[in-house]
Structure 1
Amino acid sequence: MRNVLETVSCLPQTYGKTVSMHINDKDFDIVARNLIITLAAFVAPDDAQAVDCMLHIWYSAMITRTHEDFLWARLRPLISDVVLKIERKAPDAVLGKTWIFSAGTCRAELTKSQWDLLLSYFEVPAALTTERAQQIRTAVTLAPERQDHRDRHLCAQKPAHRACLWKFREDGILLPFSSSREHFIVPNPYSAPYHRRGDLVTDSCFRTFYQSDDWPMKDSADPLAGWSFPEILQVYSGPASNDLYGKLYIHVRERLTTFRQRLSVRRCEFSFLSVNAKELLTRMDNIRFARIEVSNITDVGYLGMPQTAAYLGRLLDHPRGNPYSTLISLFLNAVDEAERSLGDMEMQMRDMVRAMPFFNRGGKPKSRYDPRIVLSTAAKDLMRDGDHYFNM
């Protein structure tokens, strides 16, 4: 969703053509969240309400009654109307719906089962209290068996940033540090990047944040990871200059505001799908793109580069008509995989030794558990010649 926001927001004001985007993910819960966020941008009566609702659906474990009322009054009817019309269709039938707004259109092509599931996302389990929801979450984010992992992570942070990181692990609400949380009492049922549990998934548990007794994300999941950290640090947050999540809150709010404002001056068309990337070529046989962003499916653990190019490269504009058409990928693991394939422990040790001077104050470490050893081990990747491995 971040890439959708950034693309629309960064187009020059002089660009007057329609922007058409097709957003796909194999995991339906991600598609559902992104669709709900986009619909909120279209239907909210003003920028402030739209941005506040979009931000907390996206990143907060709890939302307010105001958010819940808006979603039930303005968004749920859009989905329930579709579900009512297709109630006699087969569960695997693919059905499309296009919502037309003054600023553009929003379309979803989902199976009948997925439409039913999308409607169920608006329901918070009746027995789930605010307290129980927080217990479910902190059982993961503050799990005793993960203390060593947390300590190693916090060890590398500035003291003030540790306080911010810890507060977010405790309450999971994206707000400036000193902002009141008292109105955030509704467990967020709308957005979760990861939820499936192998082959144990059933329709009743295939939902979002709080739809089962299991927090769906890793304890290390962090909204900071989705944005440019140097940009976040440069955000002005008033006298609270070390309020890390306050800076993130301001940054995301500004990006959402710009996105919403761009919708009012430029026609945008969004289409949502939830299929395997291999199927996109058959689903979009007559559509060609100037840009296709494929995230990290080029990693060996997913499709890999050859298959990604074969299945999605053919959806790009032909170079004769558009020499700038581009397949954009994130090679998340390529450097690590190349390094492991060499098994070059000597080079890894050399990188660690290069990192040591940055932490080696107060005398020589007396133990391999010394925090300076921990930090230099973590920092060795920053000393690594990534280009050397990537070029392989």
Structure 2
Amino acid sequence: MNEGAMSLDRDFAIAYPVSGDIRNIVQTVNALPEDYSGNLTVLLSDVDGILVARNLLLLAVLGSIDDSAQAAEIALHLWYSAFIRPTDVAVLCHIIGSLLEQMVHGDSVTVKLWEQFMPADSFSIQLGKHSILKGALARYPPSNDPSHPNGGLCCAQTHLMDFQEFNMKLNELDLKEELDHAFKSMHDVRFDPSRADFHDRRGCYLEQPSHRLADFKFRKMGIVLPFGADNGDFCIPNRTMFSADGKWLSKDTADPLGSWNIDDIVLAGQARGAQTEDLYGCLYFYLSDQLRTFAERLKHFRITFHLLDAPSTAVSADIRAGTLEQLGLPKTISFDRIDVSSEIDTDAFNVLADWAPLLSSTNSHATIVGHFLAWTRRGDPPISSIGEVMARLYEEQAFHYRSPATVIVLKKYIHARWENSGPFAEYLETRYTKQNAKKAGVQLKHKHTVVPHRVCTPIDGASNMLPVFKDKNSMYLNICVASTPMSERFVEFCRL
């Protein structure tokens, strides 16, 4: 914990105004000291209604089911598997029904009453004895203007109702027909002939045949399970991954392996007896451990979650105006951590202007965190640096120089061994990042305390530090298997 030993009983508030999923929340809560006794407030918001609906269900499942192992199992597949089990659906229907009863004006939640649905209602779910999840959905109605932050998106309530309606009609549907349709929709994206070259290149990155097989099987089946595990019960499409008319929503490149620390994934699998070749089996055991720990901590920590489906700029404006006070977010609230994700790269001026005023002025450790991905499109190393990078790779014997895949994989390794702090600093200057920060009352932190400057480096590492790998296999796992974006850079801001 980076707040010091005296912070074990302090209250903290964290904001994720662009929370596409709950990865960072899970990792943050799991990293808290076991004897932490303060109150933790977590604000979650995203403009994409289906992501908010999934996050809502994940938190509700993990916090409201007494058996943490069962909760983790359901949450794991809801989050990452394209198909789930009838038993999972029964649990989710019960949770969604309870939610909609709080949001719908009527005597009960039935399909007949959905036409009377009134938006902007709040909800509250108890997560164990001490934690609570509350918020309001559809407070910011989607816009018909495609350029609007909410343009073309449905609110989370709509997705919850679609999910519930589909599941309530399961007895009337031809499950085989639904399953076949879902598989076809997923395969149309994941095995699109126009993307064959990309996946062939991906196969070249994967040196081990077993890794290529694991990658192919996950693309084909879409279920996170150990290799050879019985998946016969996974017969119902996960409606958080399909549109209301059954279209697959994710890209063909979406892969949960790249969402977590691949070294930790492999270690977790080995601890459970999984082979390192079984990538998604290792992922299954890793996620099971993480989600079980998170579920247990929800039950004995004091955590209050506030969930909204709204643009980040609207949320910050409403907090400062005091219009979210009835939801437990008074205008006086300030946050010890604010994670603005990649929005800092697209619109640093407005993001900092929106959220810097909400950064705590009493906590010297208070930090705004963001990361830059778009800069890598122009972040290739200059010709003058190639010789130095190649010499470093040759010295490390990073890969097989005589392999036919060398040319294809070479660029990924070059980015991992190129020291890019200088070009990144120049990029920040072209975006007037320092000036925009100063106008908002914050400044870039040269010494990071929350996230590293760069992936695969320690938090306290220097900005010019190269990614660190414990061995050659770790380098391969991070660069080729998890496809970790080695040029990605992180920034931190603190108050002036």
- Decide: shared fold, TM above 0.5: yes
1:329 partner SS: strand
Higher relative contact order (CA 8 A, sep 6+): 1
* Residue 315 (structure 1) aligned with residue 358 (structure 2): yes
Separation in structure 2 between the aligned mates of residue 172 and residue 18 of structure 1, nearest angstrom = 38
Shift of residue 97, structure 1, vs aligned partner: 2.2
Asked whether the 8 Å contact 1:40–1:50 carries over to 2, the reply is: yes
Tell me, yes or no, if the aligned pair for 1:76 and 1:119 is still in contact at 8 Å: no
Report the CA distance shift for 1:374/1:19 in structure 2 as closer, same or farther (over 3 A). same
1:378/1:239 CA distance change after superposition, 3 Å: closer
Aligned to 2:213: 163
* Separation in 2, partners of 1:38, 1:73: 14
Deviation at 1:210, TM superposition (A): 4.8
1:240 Cα shift? 2.2
Measured in 1, the distance between the counterparts of 2:195 and 2:376 equals 27
Partner of 2:306: 271
Partner of 1:195: none
1:245 aligns with 2:280: yes
Question: What does 1:1-392 align with in structure 2 at a 5 Å threshold?
Answer: 1-85=22-106, 94-101=120-127, 102-111=129-138, 114=155, 115-124=157-166, 126=173, 129-157=178-206, 158-190=208-240, 192=241, 209-235=242-268, 236=270, 237-238=272-273, 240-285=275-320, 286=331, 287-299=333-345, 302-303=346-347, 305-318=348-361, 321-337=362-378, 339=379, 344-347=382-385, 351=389, 355=393, 358-359=398-399, 361-362=401-402, 370-392=404-426
- Residue 222 of structure 1: CA displacement? 0.2
In structure 2, how many angstroms separate the alpha carbons of the residues matched to 1:390 and 1:49? 45
How far is the alpha carbon of 1:110 from its aligned partner? 1.6
Q: For residues 88 and 74 of structure 1, do their structure 2 counterparts lie closer, same or farther at Cα, with a shift above 3 Å needed? A: closer
In 1: Cα distance, 2:135 partner to 2:25 partner:
16
Deviations 1:332-379 (A, max 9, x none): 233444x36xx94554687568657744544xx8xxxx4221121332
Distance 1:45 1:359, change over 3 A: closer
- 1:111 partner SS: coil
Q: Distance in 2 between matches of 1:359 and 1:325?
A: 42
Q: Distance in 1 between matches of 2:160 and 2:387?
A: 50
Q: Residue 370 of structure 2 aligns to which amino acid in structure 1?
A: S
Report SS of the residue matched to 1:220: coil
Structure 1 unpaired stretches of 5+ = 193-208
Mapped contact 1:187–1:210 kept (Cα < 8 A): no
The answer on whether the counterparts of 2:317 and 2:354 sit within 8 Å (CA) in structure 1 is: no
Secondary structure of the structure 1 residue equivalent to 2:105? helix
User: Quick one: structure 1 residues 7 and 358, their matched pair in 2 at CA, closer, same or farther if it must change by over 3 Å?
Assistant: closer
Q: Does the aligned pair in 2 maintain the 1:65–1:186 contact within 8 Å? A: yes
Are residues 189 and 27 of structure 1, via their aligned partners in 2, closer, same or farther at CA, if it must alter by over 3 Å?
Answer: same
Distance 1:94 1:82 in 2: 8
- Code of the residue aligned with 2:213 in structure 1: it is A
Asked if the contact 2:103/2:121 (under 8 Å) is kept, the reply is no
Calculate the TM-score normalised by the size of structure 2. Answer: 0.67
Change in 2 beyond 3 A, CA 1:90/1:122: closer
Rate the CA distance shift 1:88–1:289 in 2: closer, same or farther, 3 A.
farther
What is the CA–CA distance in structure 2 between the aligned matches of 1:248 and 1:386, rounded to whole Å? Answer: 31
SS at match of 2:42: strand
Pair 1:90–1:283, CA change in 2 (3 A): farther
How far does residue 87 in structure 1 lie from its aligned partner after superposition? Answer: 7.0
Q: Within 2, Cα distance between the matches of 1:88 and 1:180? A: 41
- Whether the aligned pair in 2 keeps the contact of 1:40 and 1:75 (CA below 8 Å) is no
- Cα deviation digits, residues 92-125 of structure 1 (max 9, x gap): x533222345232111212276334422222338
> Does the residue aligned with 2:406 lie in a helix, a strand or coil?
helix
Report the alpha carbon displacement of residue 313 of structure 1 after superposing the two structures with TM: 1.3
Residue 72 of structure 1 deviates from its aligned partner by 1.4
Counterpart secondary structure, 1:38 = helix
Structure 1 residue 189: deviation in Å? 0.6
Distance 1:282 1:39, change over 3 A: same
- In 2, Cα distance between equivalents of 1:298 and 1:350: 31
RMSD (Å), alpha carbons: 2.6
Deviates more, 1:23-32 or 1:101-110: 101-110
| Distance 1:211-1:221 versus aligned 2 partners, 3 A rule | same
- The one-letter code of the counterpart of 1:119 is M
Calculate the TM-score normalised by the size of structure 1.
0.84
Q: Distance in 1 between matches of 2:33 and 2:412?
A: 40
Give the superposition deviation at 1:48: 2.1
Once the two structures are TM-superposed, the CA of residue 232 in structure 1 deviates from its matched residue by: 1.5
What 5-or-longer segments of structure 2 have no aligned partner? 1-21, 107-112, 142-154, 321-330, 427-496
Name the residue aligned to 2:439: none
Q: Please, which moves more after superposition, 166-175 or 283-292?
A: 283-292
- 8 Å CA contact 1:335, 1:389 repeated in 2: no
